[in-house]
Amino acid sequence: MRISFAAIATLAFLLVSEASSQRGPFTSPQAVVKQSIGGTEFQVDYYAPSMHGRKVMGGLVPYGEVWCTGANIATGFTLGADIQMGGLKMPKGEYSIWTLPNAQEWMLIINKETGQFHLNYNVSLDFGRTKMELKTLPDAVETFRVELRDEGGKKGRLVLLWENTEASMPFTVLP
């Protein structure tokens, strides 16, 4: 029995199309974290890549280059109230989160543009930058995760976790 090249190509296309439709358009799943801090709702929308045996910090996420802090579409940060985050006084609204990681220091970048593809960072739309706190985790985090932690009263913390790195930034809900 002879099978034509066209038949094989068609079958391969159908198999790849079926696998893609089951997986969705992105291999890094979408995630949402919501948290009430100081009686106000905050939300982070992101895509969560996984390590899959790769070196992440200083490898997949290069040091010294702006990272979209997730995958696919820029990570969104919705503030239900004005906040003070490091040296940034941010009005209620929607922003995107980017980072500038280095081995010893990370900068959190808040950008006024939202919904852009992860490679379309526009520095001219930065709201501002502030230094993050870094910790080395004892156990690796396989899949990138964002947390919003309620630290009591009107205090919260934005936390980024992946591989053996925890980068975080405290903030205060303003009156």
Average pLDDT score over the chain: 89
Name the residue among 84, 36, 28, 79 with its Cα closest to residue 56. Answer: 28
Q: Mean pLDDT over residues 13-29, rounded?
A: 52
Give the pLDDT band of residue 21 (cuts 50, 70, 90): very low
Give the per-residue pLDDT at 23. Answer: 41
Give the pLDDT band of residue 27 (cuts 50, 70, 90): confident
- For the stretch 108-144, pLDDT in tens is 999 999 999 988 999 999 999 999 999 999 999 999 9
Give pTM, 2 decimals: 0.84
Cα–Cα distance measured from residue 136 to residue 98, given in angstroms and rounded to the nearest whole number: 20
Domain ranges of the chain: 27-173
Q: What is the dihedral of CA 141, 25, 75, 78, to 10 degrees?
A: -120
Least confident of 7-11, 155-159, 167-171: 7-11
Residue 142 phi, psi (nearest 5): -65, -45
- Residue 46, H or E segment: strand 40-47
Q: Mean pLDDT over residues 92-105, rounded?
A: 97
Least confident of 22-31, 87-96, 163-172: 22-31
The 10 Å CB-count burial string (b at 16+, else e) for 130-169 is eebebeeeeeebeebbbebeeeeebebbbbbbbbebbbbb
| CA distances (Å), origin 79, targets 15, 95, 96, 135, 144 | 43, 8, 11, 25, 21
Give the pLDDT band of residue 4 (cuts 50, 70, 90): low
Give the per-residue pLDDT at 160. Answer: 98
Q: How many CB atoms lie within 10 A of CB 18?
A: 10
Residues 6+ apart with CB under 8 A from 17: none
Evaluate if residue 72 carries a pLDDT over 50.
yes
Amino acid at 155: K
Q: Mean pLDDT over residues 2-30, rounded?
A: 51
Q: What is the dihedral of CA 151, 32, 119, 124, to 10 degrees?
A: -50
- Max distance between CA atoms of the chain, in angstroms, equals 77
